[in-house]
Amino acid sequence: MNATPPDEAFRVEELLADVMARLIGDARHVAVGMASPIPAAGALLARQRAQGRLLVSVLQGQSAFTDGGRELFDCAGQGRLDVFFLSGAQIDGQANINLVCIGDYQHPQTRFAGSFGSAHLAFVVPRVILFRHEHTPRTLVERVDFISAPGTSPPGIYRPGGPVALITSRCLFAFDRQRSRFRLESLHPGHALDEVVAQTGFAFDVPDIVPTTIPPSVETLRLLRERVAPEIAEAYPQFSASVFAQR
C-alpha cells in the first residue's frame, strides 16, 4: 500500500522534490543548474518514476552534455529542452527574477554572481519552474531591483517559453502568463494562508478553498532515500548527507 506518512516523517526538502517531480510530469528532457540540489533531487525522482525515460542534464555525473553550458543553451534554443529550474535573489509578482544586485545597479548594496544564461533559458524553455527556499518579503518582492530574466514579454515578441510555477518552502504558486500574475495553488503542510500573505511581498490570487500540498508517499520517500540520494551525492555531498543521512 502506497500510504502517506505523517507530516513529521519527511523533511521539507523531500516535499519540495516531490512537488517538483510532479510538475515535471511527462517531460522528456529536464535541466537543472549547478547550485540547485532540491530541483536536482526532483528531476532524479521524476526520472526514477519514468524508469529512465527522462533525461536529466547539467548535473555532475548525470549530464548527457560534454560541453557544459554552451551545449545546454544550444539544446534549449533548438527546442529540445522541456523543463528548466530558475531561482533568484529576488522574485517578484510578474515572475521576474534578479540574480545581479540589490539596490541601484551603479551603487548596489549587494552584488551577486550574475544572470549567466537565465534570460535566454526563460525565453525558450517551454516550462520554467521558479523556486526559492526562503519565502520572505526580502526574497519575494513587489518588484525586483534588477531584471535578470523577465517573467513575460510584450505582445508581438516571439517567446515559446516562460515561467509556469513558483515553489517555496511555504507553498506552491501557479503563474498565469497572460495576466502576468501568480495564483496560490496549495499550502504546504503546517503553513497557513495568513502566514503566506504576510511573508509575500507581492499580491497574488487566492482560490475560495486552498488545498494542502500532497505530502510525499511512502514509496516516494523510498525512491528519494534509496535511489535518488546515492545519485545526487556526487554533485551535492553535503545536501545528500544532511537531508537523507540516517534515514
What are the distances in angstroms from CA 175 to CA 2, 3, 14, 46, 127?
31, 30, 23, 21, 11
Superfamily designation of domain 7-241: Glutaconate Coenzyme A-transferase (3.40.1080.10)
The confidence score (pLDDT) of residue 4 equals 56
- Given a contact cutoff of 8 angstroms between Cβ atoms, the answer to whether 80 and 121 are in contact is no
pLDDT at 61 over 60: no
Name the residue with cell 517555496. Answer: 168
The confidence score (pLDDT) of residue 245 equals 77
The CA distance from 118 to 219, in Å, is: 34
Question: What mean pLDDT comes out for the span 115-129?
Answer: 94
Cα first-last separation, the chain: 20
pLDDT at 246 over 90: no
Rounded to two decimals, the pTM is 0.92
pLDDT at 59 over 80: no
The 10s digit of each residue's pLDDT in 192-218 is 999 999 999 999 999 999 999 999 999
Domain ranges of the chain: 7-241
The 10s digit of each residue's pLDDT in 78-103 is 999 999 999 999 999 999 999 999 99
H or E element that contains 101: strand 101-103
